[in-house]
Structure 1
Amino acid sequence: MTSSTPVTDTTPHRAVVVLSRALDQAGDVLEAVHPDDLGRPTPCEDWDVAHLVAHLLADPVNMLAMGRGEDVDWSAEPPLVEEGWAQEFRNRADDLIHHWHQVDDEHAGAADFNTAEFATHTWDLARAVGYEGDLDPEVAERGLAFMTATMKPEMRGEAFAPEREAPADADPYARLAAFAGREVS
């Protein structure tokens, strides 16, 4: 599934709609994770599938706390979850999307930050476990638009490697992953 369509609907409400789809597809990819996948490497350097799953499970909780104005320690190691990843994620994601549905239009566009995070890590996990389903290109496009507009090289810290070049025919997820410092082939 490839697309080079730029993000054209920049209405705040659309940001929340696309975040909802990002959360749904993250849950779908988590459904594809099997216990024997947990030790596999991922495109996130230094993380295996178990750590990526734990990070994805922590993201909705952390993002909800951040949305409420609470301090979040993004460097804290999330607890590893033994099973039931998809359902646990969906429960946590429901709380997050409920929060975004209550945000006024002036602030709803900030949901794209969440979309960028989920799009990137959903791609990471899909690659790591050999997920064969389609990923929503609009999710990646919005995530990439947000990241390119906000993440300058000096802001990458330890979370993101330097941007890499994506192949000329790269789909939206490969372009997003390359921007996030992933090796894309």
Structure 2
Amino acid sequence: MTDIRDLNARAVRDSMDIVRQVQVTDLGRPTPCEGWTLADLLGHMTVQHHGFAAASRGDGADMKRWEFAPAGPDAVQQYLAASEEVLAAYAELGADLDAVFDLPEFQIDPPRFPARIAIGFHFIDYIVHAWDVAATLGLPFELRPELEQDALRITLSVPNGDNRTADGSAFVPALEIPEDSSALDQVLLHLGRTPGWRPIA
């Protein structure tokens, strides 16, 4: 079985390649995340990396690790640095994928997950957020074939109930998935994204 950290690293590095194409003048653009500009989205993506890195190192319960701030003019550099930080933190776990992550933003009590599950959440987030950024910039995005099976497995295990409409929910309610949908479209639709979303001209 492929280590979830390897899958996650490929997804995160793909997101880094897309974020490298962001210009300062793009930061005010609307995104597929309703009400968020690209600056908001990149700020969220960056702080989530910091939060997951802290959780991997045993300090995820500290809410200061998860404090949101919109990205500024150095958004790209901040995001790339945070990406390297979280990948390094996961590597430091060694073989211990049963280590406990505190993820206080999750609406369960207690919000604690084994590393292999927590990193799976992170993996899906950064497939979707990479698509978010690409869609915002009007760029194509493809899900690596070697990620498809695990991305679908983890995505389809995400509950689609009242939790999706609660304040602070990571995803909105799922949309209908046509039978001929690609793996990426199935991921996006189950998590409430519209694959055909395009920036306003």
TM over 0.5: yes
Of 93-102 and 140-149, more deviation after overlay is shown by 140-149
Aligned pairs for 1:78-157 (under 5 A) are: 78-103=68-93, 104-107=95-98, 109-110=116-117, 111-132=119-140, 134-139=142-147, 141-156=149-164, 157=166
Pairing 1:19–2:8 present = yes
TM-score (norm 1): 0.79
Please say if residues 44 and 124 of structure 1, whose CA atoms lie closer than 8 Å, have aligned partners that are also in contact.
Answer: yes
Structure showing the higher helix proportion among its residues: 1
Aligned residue identity for 1:146: I
SS of equivalent residue, structure 1 residue 173: helix
SS of equivalent residue, structure 2 residue 87: helix
Q: d(CA) in 2 for partners of 1:129 and 1:115?
A: 22
Q: State the 1:152 CA deviation.
A: 4.2
Please say if residues 166 and 184 of structure 1, whose CA atoms lie closer than 8 Å, have aligned partners that are also in contact.
Answer: no
CA RMSD, Structure 1 to Structure 2 (Å): 2.4
SS of equivalent residue, structure 1 residue 79: coil
Please say if residues 144 and 176 of structure 1, whose CA atoms lie closer than 8 Å, have aligned partners that are also in contact.
Answer: yes
C-alpha spacing 1:134/1:144, structure 2 compared with 1 (3 Å): closer
Q: State the 1:176 CA deviation.
A: 1.1
Partner of 1:32: 21
Aligned residue identity for 2:22: V
Please say if residues 47 and 67 of structure 2, whose CA atoms lie closer than 8 Å, have aligned partners that are also in contact.
Answer: no
Please say if residues 28 and 86 of structure 1, whose CA atoms lie closer than 8 Å, have aligned partners that are also in contact.
Answer: no
2:170 to 134, 137, 159: 159
Q: d(CA) in 2 for partners of 1:48 and 1:72?
A: 27
Identity %: 24
C-alpha spacing 1:85/1:138, structure 2 compared with 1 (3 Å): farther
TM-score (norm 2): 0.74
Partner of 2:109: none
Partner of 2:190: 179
Aligned residue identity for 1:109: R
Q: State the 1:73 CA deviation.
A: 4.4
Pairing 1:62–2:70 present = no
Q: d(CA) in 2 for partners of 1:26 and 1:145?
A: 20
Q: State the 1:59 CA deviation.
A: 1.5
Of 32-41 and 132-141, more deviation after overlay is shown by 132-141
Q: d(CA) in 1 for partners of 2:23 and 2:29?
A: 11
Q: Which runs of 5+ in 1 are unaligned?
A: 1-10
C-alpha spacing 1:181/1:132, structure 2 compared with 1 (3 Å): closer
Once the two structures are superposed, residues 54-99 of structure 1 have per-residue CA deviations (whole angstroms, 9 ceiling, x without a partner) of: 111111101112232422549x662223234333222212221122
Relative contact order higher in (CA < 8 Å, ≥ 6 apart): 1
Please say if residues 160 and 174 of structure 2, whose CA atoms lie closer than 8 Å, have aligned partners that are also in contact.
Answer: no
Q: d(CA) in 1 for partners of 2:71 and 2:22?
A: 12
- The count of corresponding residues between Structure 1 and Structure 2 is 173
